[in-house]
Chain A
Amino acid sequence: MSSLPLTLPAPTQCPMPNAHYPCFVMTATILAPSTQLPPSSHEFAPVIHRLEAGGAMLPDTPENLMQIIGIYKAYAVPMDFYWRDLLYIAERVFLNPFPFFKYFLPKEYLDLHNHYAGDDADLRIWRGEATAHPELLAFMEKGETFKMPKLLHHLWHDRINMEFAEACMRAMLWHRGMGGNFDPYLDTDEYKANADRAIKAYFKGNPVMLGLYQMFPEMFIEQVRQLSYYSNLGLFWEVMAPVFFEMSDRYDAGDIKSVPEAMNFLVNAIFAMAGRPIYHHVHIRGEVYEIIPKSCGFMWLYEAALPYVEAVFYRTAPFRGTKSYNAQAKQVPDNQKDFHYGILYADVFPVGTAGIPPTLLMQDMLHFLPKYLVDYYHQHCRGEDDMLIQLGISFQRSMYVVTSAVIQALRTALLYPLDDPNPRHLQANRAFFETQIDRFKRPEARLRDVQSQNYR
């Protein structure tokens, strides 16, 4: 770039000593409610008006802010494991038919530099270190019990629940077709040829597996598609972990003082990261096989973030063992696009049902709660296991803020500024907000509940 005659706007420098890296700044504007449009007649009119004023779906209260930031921090630590292990599985474990040790993250991946933290970051979102978070490393060593060999921690299930990350990945794979070019690419001849090269290289000298591949090629290609989604989600979360760590640090330092400020930090992060490449590379015997090359032009926003939000926040699938559904009575929608079992609709109460993904995540977050949140939950505790439910509901609140950020980011990208002087543009913004909020009209949605602090 330095040889070019013209320059692009320079990224802002971090306000830290010796900082030479590009850094990420936050801007937040809260507007007075628009007087140019008549009040909305939507069922959630107060929420629509709040969004139009630059706010979030979650009311702006100090209690909400404390809960969402505390949860972001508690989420970011296991997420630091998730993204590293997702990439490890996509890039190294690959098609291992007996992947017993896929959750045993090698040092190489614990030391892998996050591209958005540390001194050598592409864009420094978090001012912390690029390698695995110290609280994660401490937990991996001792767990809830005590220091013992990794295998015993694994078998005792005293570890990070990677199964949660895999459930999110599977939700993306299962729903497919949620926009972006990544998913259609998985069905192209080019993708299949790339996968074929990698499969043959991986099983080189293994006549049994190569024979099986010859007999059931589609089964192997489908497995590679799943591994491509491992990579997709790993690259997505590699960004989100430093974003959440930075938000927590800024809150602790008093730099994030309101829910809209927190949301705007996320909006800016979404834009800053939008162009991050989404790809799938596999490392086989020292050689890199580009199953989805960076040159495809797939972007973090379109090919990872938006499909992720759709699949995981909105859709997913009913969790086995939590509730019975009568499909004949249309309790399960005919169309996958109408599925509504994500965190924004979840009944958080049936936690403790062993193995369901939200419980696994809540158990992971429980280990890394900041003290202020532990104290807060103790004030309202209904019993020994109640903290899991309370943090699950805080998590739900926090994901309503992330979803608000996505909605505001899409409005910024595709529509008009909130203070646009043109009433026709403001009306278009309102129509967009109302369409988005329509998805929370159904009775399972928790948008009504999170408006009150009594929902806990």
Chain B
Amino acid sequence: MADIVDIAVSAGSFQTLVTAVQAAGLVDTLKSPGPFTVFAPNDDAFAKLPPGTIHTLVQNIPQLARILTYHVVPGRLMAADIAKLNCLTSVEGSEIRIDTSHGFEVKNATVIAPDIEADNGVIHVIDTVILMG
């Protein structure tokens, strides 16, 4: 099985995420044994952000890394595991609200492809970039 980064690269629909992860220097972390649960926004999710948002973040790596690590939770949490919880604590430190009463929602994002398993964790694809707050 491939790791989280390899899966994201090969999928082709995570170009912005992969570039951001590379820019933030998080590739090695996400290739490490982990395991991690990654809520991975696809390219359409990044495209929904107002203009300039990504531009400024890419210029400022610690800030970009903070947004990206908000999408990562320690441990391998499958959709069925997450369904038992109300919120998760991200690697960034802030909480992520979970709502599985109507589908599978992570804060204001909807999981459009759950449980993509990797060697070092699991990916849930989301349709919106989630932000702290």
Contact = CB atoms under 8 A, between A and B. Distances in A.
Interface of A: 1, 4, 6-9, 11-12, 22, 24-25, 27, 122-123, 179, 267-268, 271-277, 294-299, 302, 306, 410, 412-416, 424-425
A28 B55 CA distance: 20
A294 B133 contact: no
B56 A295 contact: no
* Residue of B55, B57, B59 contacting most chain A CB atoms (<10 Å): B55
Interface stretch (B34-42, B46-54, B71-79): B46-54
Contacts of B51: 11-12, 24-25, 27, 268, 271-272
Contacts, number: 100
B131 interface: yes
Given A4-B23, A410-B133, 4 more contacts: A4-B22, A27-B51, A275-B60, A275-B64
* Residue of A22, A273, A413, A416 contacting most chain B CB atoms (<10 Å): A413
A268 B51 CA distance: 7
11 contacts: A6-B19, A8-B20, A8-B54, A24-B51, A25-B51, A123-B55, A123-B59, A272-B55, A273-B52, A275-B57, A299-B66
B112 interface: no
Given A8-B19, A295-B62, A272 B56 contact: yes
Nearest to B107: A414
A297 B56 contact: no
A12 B63 CA distance: 22
Nearest to A410: B133
Contacts of B55: 8, 11, 22, 123, 272
Contact of A9 (B22, B46, B63): B46
B50 to A, nearest CB: 4
B44 to A, nearest CB: 11
A122 B59 contact: yes
Contacts of A294: 60, 62
Interface in B62-120: 62-67, 102, 107-108
* Residue of B59, B60, B108 contacting most chain A CB atoms (<10 Å): B108
Nearest to B67: A275
B108 A271 contact: no
Nearest to A23: B52
B23 A413 contact: no
Interface residues of B, number: 33
B15 A6 contact: yes
B101 to A, nearest CB: 9
Given A123-B55, A277-B60, A297-B65, A415 B108 contact: yes
Contact of B58 (A8, A267, A299, A413): A8
Interface in B1-42: 15-16, 18-20, 22-23
B47 A9 contact: yes
B56 A122 contact: yes
Contacts of B108: 414-416, 425
A19 B78 CA distance: 48
Contact of B53 (A12, A271, A296, A414): A271
B50 A267 contact: yes
A400 B31 CA distance: 47
B63 A297 contact: yes
B120 to A, nearest CB: 21
B66 A271 contact: no
A274 B15 contact: no
B68 to A, nearest CB: 11
A226 B133 CA distance: 25
B132 A302 contact: yes
A294 B60 CA distance: 9
Contacts of A8: 16, 19-20, 54-55, 58
Nearest to A22: B55
B56 A9 contact: no
